[in-house]
Amino acid sequence: MKQEKERYTFNAAEFNEKVMKGHFKKIYPVIARQILERTGITSGRCIDLGGGPGMLAVELAKASALDVTVCDVTFECVALAKENSREHGVHERVSAVQGTAEKLPFDDNSIDLVVSRGSIFFWEDQQKGLSEVYRVLRPGGWAYIGGGFGTAELLQEILAEKADDVEWNEKRKERLAKNPPGHFEAMLRNLGIDGGVERGEASMWIIFTKSTTQP
């Protein structure tokens, strides 16, 4: 019998209040700076894929001249991302749309930077999602996709704050075990994408640029 794949569901309002504006609040400005420095993309069109209530998008907009669109499968996140961008005064450069990684609602070769934190682990078809990211990037555009907490110190602070949250700790370990760097490196190879996986003390990012000389 064919097994139904569990659909991704989560409480967006609770995530916004308790996680994004709680334990994780301090990581987004740090990660935003790391992305801008690593990719050198500081203007143009950016997608925050699986951006949830949008605080990485907000911090990217604050630290650059990028126009950022949060694209998330969860309808509630779209509304929350718009609310957070207004709250932080960046609503003219941060928008939000509903969409899935596996079928991105963007044109080919139209995006300068795709970022995605803490989302790929939940995509139903990760390889299809990566191919979609590559499709929408303009030649010379960058992708920065994976997960992380900014710095080892921030990770340690969060682990201490979450020490009693047994379920969160178990699920995090499970996700890390199921998604080692080699798992994503194989997908990049299958897709013919020239990129790599960079593992840090508190992060793992799949990083690639779209070739300016198309095959």
Q: Which residues bind ligand SAM (CB under 6 A)?
A: 8, 20, 24, 50-52, 56, 72-74, 77, 100-102, 117-119, 122-124
24 vs 144 by CB, closer to ligand SAM: 24
Q: How far is the CB of 149 from ligand SAM (least distance, A)?
A: 10
Q: DSSP secondary structure string, 82-135?
A: HHHHHHTT-TTTEEEEE-BTTB-SS-TT-EEEEEEES-GGG-S-HHHHHHHHHH
81 vs 193 by CB, closer to ligand SAM: 81
Angle at 136 between CA 178 and CA 192, to 5 degrees: 55
- CA 183: distance to chain centroid? 17
13 vs 186 by CB, closer to ligand SAM: 13
Q: Which of 123, 142, 115, 122 is nearest to 59 (CA)?
A: 115
Sign of the dihedral defined by the CA atoms of residues 191, 114, 39, 205, in that order? negative
Asked if residue 61 lies in contact with residue 90, where contact means CB atoms within 8 angstroms, the answer is: yes
Which residues, 6 or more positions from 192, have their beta carbon under 8 angstroms from its beta carbon?
Answer: 215
34 vs 211 by CB, closer to ligand SAM: 34
124 vs 157 by CB, closer to ligand SAM: 124
Asked if residue 157 lies in contact with residue 175, where contact means CB atoms within 8 angstroms, the answer is: no
100 vs 209 by CB, closer to ligand SAM: 100
Strand order in the sheet with 137-148: 94-98, 65-72, 43-49, 111-117, 137-148, 203-209, 195-200
**Residues listed for the chain:** 215
Q: Which of 115, 127, 133 is nearest to 41 (CA)?
A: 115
